[in-house]
Structure 1
């Protein structure tokens, strides 16, 4: 007895999806690794749970999981988020809200996406510990 067309079509779709998934895995292995945008840093102290908001002079989003907070007096705290935060590394901007005078590892940041010239809220992600670091200067590439 011949198989119904819907079963044949479903089998072809499933086979095509599997081949597509395996092809993307194979291509990922062949692709050269992207250079990291996270500059190397030397840890210069113990991680802390919170930093004082009034002392933050700026922040640099390095990738989907790393933010460097530049503080008054030249101190830098690196925050490694416990999970990847969707589009954080692409949009490179975020917002947060806290009723305290500190930003802590229990706080949530929200990615700000530039959509049509305006800002739109994106993924929300938890922060990690704040590790004091000294950024290591890299020689300029030519």
Structure 2
């Protein structure tokens, strides 16, 4: 083996070491920002308190909120059949018979062809009369 061959072998090893070094540096440069951005996110997730349990409203409160919603619709559209029916149903569930009767009477006036309104109105009036 001559001096020229030794030189080529040493040169080849030197190039391979540089390639390994550059590969490691390139990987570190690529993964570094990812790790630095992921660490704070993970820390924040671990430090945040668990969400509190959602408090559930009582059925009466929910029904009253529904009634307010229907009443708001009726302020804009006083003859809205769907809103009137919804408000009657809510008032029946809230045991507000007088309020339900008033709205049913309005529904009967607006839609005299609807027998179901008349039947429910008569039943409600009988319950009040007892």
Report the TM range for the smaller structure's normalisation: under 0.3
The higher-RCO structure (CA 8 Å, 6+ apart) is 1
Larger % of helix: which? 2
Structure with bigger strand share is 1
Q: TM-score, normalised by structure 1?
A: 0.25
